[in-house]
């Protein structure tokens, strides 16, 4: 081991200590030591453009958030069994961004825990067990939610109480047809579950369908599906881990983009700009019915440091008009991608809302997904110091999901790197 360079040594140590589960990005992984805004830097000061990380949505190491964390960590950090003002101040500010019907909030540490709790709450309220998700959904890694996360793959058995909807593939089905297509599939799935003696409890859905391949569709289409959920007596659970907190530019929440009032809203990732913090917001009658029967406590959740970080993050979102930036820069980004697509026919579709953009690559002659080429493109982008990734059931969709402080210069840099990468592999 001593003879290897530091990079290789750390790769071997990592494999031996952390095991195979800790997968790295890139055949030549990067090591980063510092971050600022939409950029991360390695130990030599090399500047990588970050078009991947949605957790640090107000930018890596935002000074207002860093200061709030440091100040609170130096003052007090404890659990939620004592009175503390910050959790109340933050909760009021956050609930003010929700429809008035959603008037309770409870904290967790990860998106997985929030979805796990949401399923338990929905089952308790409806008396049903069946939870419906989409074909390539990912909702987390607890025993319960992983069994409702088909994207994990064949090694993870799906729950017998899972109902599966197709991916809302607007590229294949058409933007104007997608609502009826999904509603029809939904009613059939509820009926199928009923025939198997499973009562429908709720639809758990990420309105931007990120792991399905990024299919935001036109604002408003999902409302029809939400109405169908209520007709069938179930709850609409909005998983806002990806589309929430300004990401789509068009609204603060993904569900709000569709004019939906969910019954339960789960959130996580960008909430505290990197500090572990997640939440489940619920209509009071639904949460009360759960709490009447089941106590809930989560040691680290809602602690003063997490709440200080979340509160500071929300303040930055408001003061810096993060949502407006996501919309403006997202639209500009899509425009530049469309210009690029004119000379690169392998780009089959460009779609997205705000700063969540998918670029689909299909063979221009056969229409086959170009999965291997997209993997190579991502490696090429890394060579050009731009961090981006892929998604979808064939992995042929480039996922663009940067911090929401991404600016025009960052877009230009991304486009230049993509153009160079496309040319390098002859696309
Ligand atoms: N829901 C969605 C839509 C997600 O993308 C993720 C994480 N990728 C989760 C839930 C789980 O969140 P966490 O990793 O914080 O448990």
Q: Which of 283, 301, 319 is a domain's end point? A: 319
What is the Å distance from ligand 1's center to 276 Cα? 12
Q: Tell me which residue has its CA closest to atom 2 in ligand 1.
A: 139
> Please, what sign has the CA dihedral across residues 109, 54, 178, 259?
positive
Answer whether residue 407 shows pLDDT above 90: yes
**Residue 14 falls inside a structural domain:** no
Q: Which residues contact 183 (CB under 8 A, 6 or more apart)?
A: 224, 225, 228
For residue 375, the domain's CATH number is 3.90.1150.10
Ligand 1 atom at shortest distance from the alpha carbon of 140: 11
- The SS3 call for residue 252 is coil
Is residue 298 domain-shared with residue 204, that is, in the same domain?
yes
Is residue 265 domain-shared with residue 137, that is, in the same domain?
yes
**What's the average model confidence in pLDDT over 236-254?**
98
Q: Which of 285, 319, 353 is a domain's end point? A: 319
What is the Å distance from ligand 1's center to 182 Cα? 23
Mutate-to-test residue for ligand 1 from 55, 133, 138, highest number of ligand atoms within 8 A of CB: 138
Mean pLDDT of the chain: 97
Q: CA 140 to CA 224: how far, in whole Å?
A: 26
What is the Å distance from ligand 1's center to 267 Cα? 9
Is residue 247 domain-shared with residue 147, that is, in the same domain?
yes
Answer whether residue 372 shows pLDDT above 90: yes
**Residue 11 falls inside a structural domain:** no
Query: What is the phi/psi pair of residue 235, to 5°?
Result: -105, 145
Is residue 311 domain-shared with residue 379, that is, in the same domain?
no
Is residue 289 domain-shared with residue 378, that is, in the same domain?
no
Per-residue pLDDT at 3: 66
pLDDT category at 255 given cuts 50, 70, 90 is very high
**Residue 384 falls inside a structural domain:** yes
Q: 288 near 121, Cβ under 8 Å?
A: no
Locate 161 and state its tokens. 């109480």
Show the domain range for 358: 32-58+321-424
Question: How many structural domains is the chain composed of?
Answer: 2
User: Rounded to the nearest 5 degrees, what angle is found at the Cα of 99, between the Cα atoms of 162 and 122?
Assistant: 25
Mutate-to-test residue for ligand 1 from 268, 279, 280, highest number of ligand atoms within 8 A of CB: 268
Per-residue pLDDT at 6: 80
Q: How do beta strands 130-134 and 162-165 pair?
A: parallel
Distance (Å) of CA 163 to CA 139, 187, 191: 14, 11, 10
What is the Å distance from ligand 1's center to 241 Cα? 6
**Residue 406 falls inside a structural domain:** yes
Is residue 155 domain-shared with residue 223, that is, in the same domain?
yes
Q: Tell me which residue has its CA closest to atom 10 in ligand 1.
A: 139
Distance (Å) of CA 174 to CA 168, 182, 335: 9, 12, 20
Locate 133 and state its tokens. 């998700």
Q: Encode pLDDT of 299-330 as tens digits.
A: 999 999 999 999 999 999 999 999 999 999 99
**Residue 134 falls inside a structural domain:** yes
Is residue 82 domain-shared with residue 134, that is, in the same domain?
yes
What is the Å distance from ligand 1's center to 321 Cα? 25
Is residue 402 domain-shared with residue 262, that is, in the same domain?
no
Per-residue pLDDT at 5: 82
Is residue 115 domain-shared with residue 258, that is, in the same domain?
yes
Ligand 1 neighbours by CB, cut-off 6 Å:
110-112, 115, 138-141, 206, 210, 239, 241-242, 268
Is residue 115 domain-shared with residue 165, that is, in the same domain?
yes
**Residue 25 falls inside a structural domain:** no
Is residue 210 domain-shared with residue 286, that is, in the same domain?
yes
Q: CA 61 to CA 410: how far, in whole Å?
A: 18
Mutate-to-test residue for ligand 1 from 115, 117, 216, 269, highest number of ligand atoms within 8 A of CB: 269
**Residue 330 falls inside a structural domain:** yes
Nearest one of 341, 110, 358 to 241, comparing CA atoms: 110
For residue 169, the domain's CATH number is 3.40.640.10
Q: CA 332 to CA 123: how far, in whole Å?
A: 43
**Residue 222 falls inside a structural domain:** yes
What is the Å distance from ligand 1's center to 108 Cα? 13
Q: Which of 303, 319, 335 is a domain's end point? A: 319
Half-sphere exposure of 370 (CA within 13 A, CB side): 24
What is the Å distance from ligand 1's center to 341 Cα? 31
Mutate-to-test residue for ligand 1 from 109, 139, 142, highest number of ligand atoms within 8 A of CB: 139
Q: CA 84 to CA 418: how far, in whole Å?
A: 49
Query: What is the phi/psi pair of residue 98, to 5°?
Result: -105, 165
Is residue 230 domain-shared with residue 379, that is, in the same domain?
no
Residue 331: other Cβ atoms inside 10 A: 15
Answer whether residue 7 shows pLDDT above 90: no
Q: Encode pLDDT of 72-123 as tens digits.
A: 999 999 999 999 999 999 999 999 999 999 999 999 999 999 999 999 999 9
Q: Which residues contact 388 (CB under 8 A, 6 or more apart)?
A: 51, 52, 378, 381, 398, 399, 400, 414
Q: CA 27 to CA 379: how far, in whole Å?
A: 8
Q: Encode pLDDT of 181-205 as tens digits.
A: 999 999 999 999 999 999 999 999 9
What is the Å distance from ligand 1's center to 116 Cα? 11
Q: Which residues contact 328 (CB under 8 A, 6 or more apart)?
A: 249
């Amino acid at each position: 081991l001593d003879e290897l360079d530091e990079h290789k040594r750390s790769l071997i140590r990592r494999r031996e200590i952390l095991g195979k589960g800790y997968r790295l990005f890139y055949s030549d992984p990067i090591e980063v030591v510092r971050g600022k805004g939409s950029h991360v830097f390695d130990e030599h000061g090399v500047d990588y453009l970050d078009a991947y990380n949605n957790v640090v949505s107000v930018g890596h190491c935002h000074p207002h958030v860093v200061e709030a964390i440091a100040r609170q960590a130096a003052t007090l950090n404890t659990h939620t069994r004592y009175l503390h003002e910050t959790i109340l101040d933050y909760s009021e500010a956050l609930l003010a961004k929700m429809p008035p019907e959603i008037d309770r909030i409870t904290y967790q540490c990860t998106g997985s825990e929030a979805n796990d709790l949401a399923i338990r709450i929905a089952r308790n309220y409806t008396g049903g067990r069946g939870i419906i998700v989409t074909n390539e959904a990912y909702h987390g890694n607890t025993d319960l939610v992983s069994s409702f996360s088909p994207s994990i793959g064949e090694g993870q058995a799906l729950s017998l109480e899972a109902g599966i909807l197709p991916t809302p593939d607007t590229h294949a089905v058409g933007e104007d047809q997608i609502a009826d297509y999904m509603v029809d599939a939904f009613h059939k799935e509820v009926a199928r579950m009923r025939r198997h003696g499973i009562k429908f409890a709720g639809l758990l859905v990420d309105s931007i369908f990120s792991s399905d391949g990024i299919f935001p569709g036109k604002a408003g289409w999902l409302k029809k599906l939400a109405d169908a959920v209520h007709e069938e007596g179930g709850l609409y659970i909005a998983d806002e881990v990806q589309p929430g907190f300004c990401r789509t530019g068009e609204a603060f929440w993904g569900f709000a983009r569709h004019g939906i009032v969910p019954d339960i809203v789960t959130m996580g990732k960008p909430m505290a700009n990197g500090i572990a913090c997640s939440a489940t917001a619920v209509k009071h009658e639904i949460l009360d019915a759960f709490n009447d029967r089941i106590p809930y406590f989560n040691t680290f959740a809602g602690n003063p440091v997490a709440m200080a970080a979340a509160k500071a993050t929300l303040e930055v979102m408001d003061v810096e008009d993060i949502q407006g930036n996501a919309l403006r820069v997202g639209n500009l980004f899509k425009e530049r991608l469309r210009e690029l697509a004119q000379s690169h026919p392998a780009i089959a579709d460009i779609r997205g809302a705000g700063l969540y953009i998918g670029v689909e690559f299909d063979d221009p002659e056969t229409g086959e997904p170009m999965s291997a080429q997209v993997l190579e493109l991502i490696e090429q982008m890394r060579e050009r110091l731009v961090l981006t990734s892929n998604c979808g059931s064939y992995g042929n969709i480039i996922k663009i999901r940067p911090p929401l402080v991404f600016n025009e210069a960052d877009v230009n840099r991304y486009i230049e790197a993509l153009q160079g990468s496309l040319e390098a592999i002859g696309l």
